[in-house]
Structure 1
Amino acid sequence: MTAAHGYRTPARLLHWSIAAAVVLMIPAGLVMTQDGLPRSLGDGLFLFHKNMGVLLIPLIVWRILYRLMHPPPPLPPQIPAWQRAAAGASHLLLYALLVVMPLSGFIRVRAGGFPIELLDRLGLGPWLAKSPTLAARAEALHYVAAMLLIAVLAVHVAAALHHALIRHDGVWRRIWPPWRARD
């Protein structure tokens, strides 16, 4: 595989930065709501989860805009049409979920009347009035989207590992490592 077949360095860095944040946020989100958790741990996980979500929003927007301006390199020709279609659909779903997750989390927190410390420190108001109904709907959407995100990520990672460890077809090398990309 030549360098021309790989993602550009900014796309790779955005991919892996967002991936690392999401991999940290998923367990934090799952654990922080558990009964019997020490309050200090639960509070710390909530702080991390909320504020990391806020930090992810501009990265996700940047990643989507970058992808629109710089389409991904073509898949190797030996990839079957059904896998191409599945890859396209899964990437579209991942991007949609990466938008839905922080927005539904933001709405849940703000409509629930809770702070988002990073935004509050920057002097950015709540932007939403307190609404238990809206908060409950956003919480339900956030939960369903989180479960779907976990499932789609599991398939995404399994497919990447399949290409890297079994097929050895160059798909994995297109996105990793970030310092070997074409600029």
Structure 2
Amino acid sequence: MPHPLQGYRTPARAMHWIVAAAVLLMIPAGLVMTREGISRPLQDALFLFHKNTGVLLFFLILARLAYRLMHPPPPLPASMPGWQRRAAGASHAALYALLIAMPVSGFVRVRAGGFPIELLDRLGAGPWLAKSEPLAEFAKDFHAFAAFTLIGVLFIHVGAALHHAMIRRDGVWQRMWPPVARS
């Protein structure tokens, strides 16, 4: 039985699982809302959910990054090979980059397309961008590319977590699970 590793603090765990749940809801919403042939009321509801949750996620991700800078993650097990440590670092960097790129590109796509973001509009944030179809199309294409890249990186992240939980049983999974740190 491996020695217990230091786990993430409760705020880091809570933010991780809130972001995970939101992203796991955003992916199917984004995929369904852009399909042809779905009912207009469902499409409208999904767009509202996707745009406004994206705004909230952007600020939560920024808070999570700030927290991570102030509270570095606990060390990985000494038994973990160097290539796995590098892969973990690269996948976490990719996740953070994509989790920032997604709401930013979504914002640009929506605002440059001349569409509302209801949460920001209610807060009086203003459009911040002039309407531009070329910019909106570029942001739309980038958002779609980043979405599928994010899905791929998430599969790697979840696969690695399950590998550590079920095969290696080296305590890496327990660093983040459960969502609240045990005392």
Which bracket does the TM-score occupy, shorter chain normalised?
over 0.9
Distance across 1 between alignment mates of 2:89 and 2:148: 20
Residue 85 (1) aligns with residue 86 (2): yes
Which 5+ residue runs of structure 1 have no aligned equivalent?
Answer: none
Write out per-residue CA displacement over residues 111-164 of structure 1, whole angstroms, 9 at most, x where no aligned residue: 000000111111211111101011011111101100100000001001101111
Question: Equivalent residue of 2:151, what SS?
Answer: helix
Partner residue in 1 for 2:112: 111
Question: What's the CA shift for 1:167?
Answer: 1.2
Superposition RMSD in Å: 1.1
Partner residue in 2 for 1:121: 122
Distance across 2 between alignment mates of 1:137 and 1:145: 12
Write out per-residue CA displacement over residues 90-123 of structure 1, whole angstroms, 9 at most, x where no aligned residue: 0000000000000000000000000001111112
Distance across 2 between alignment mates of 1:165 and 1:57: 32
Question: What's the CA shift for 1:178?
Answer: 2.3
Distance across 2 between alignment mates of 1:177 and 1:73: 15
Counting aligned pairs with the same residue, the percent is 68
Q: Give the partner amino acid of 1:38.
A: S
Question: Equivalent residue of 1:66, what SS?
Answer: helix
Counting only pairs closer than 5 Å after superposition, residues 93-104 of structure 1 correspond to structure 2 as 93-104=94-105
Residues 28 and 45 in structure 1, CA contact (< 8 A), matched pair in contact too: yes
Distance across 2 between alignment mates of 1:42 and 1:107: 20
Distance across 2 between alignment mates of 1:88 and 1:180: 22
Q: Give the partner amino acid of 1:82.
A: W
1:138–1:144 Cα change, 3 Å: same
Residues 7 and 181 in structure 1, CA contact (< 8 A), matched pair in contact too: no
Counting only pairs closer than 5 Å after superposition, residues 6-155 of structure 1 correspond to structure 2 as 6-155=7-156
Distance across 2 between alignment mates of 1:181 and 1:146: 34
Residues 8 and 181 in structure 1, CA contact (< 8 A), matched pair in contact too: no
Question: What's the CA shift for 1:181?
Answer: 4.7
Q: Give the partner amino acid of 2:119.
A: L
Question: What's the CA shift for 1:180?
Answer: 2.3
1:163–1:131 Cα change, 3 Å: same
Question: Equivalent residue of 1:7, what SS?
Answer: coil
Distance across 1 between alignment mates of 2:173 and 2:34: 35
Distance across 1 between alignment mates of 2:97 and 2:59: 14
Question: Equivalent residue of 1:127, what SS?
Answer: coil
Distance across 2 between alignment mates of 1:58 and 1:52: 10
Which 5+ residue runs of structure 2 have no aligned equivalent?
Answer: none
Q: Give the partner amino acid of 1:123.
A: G
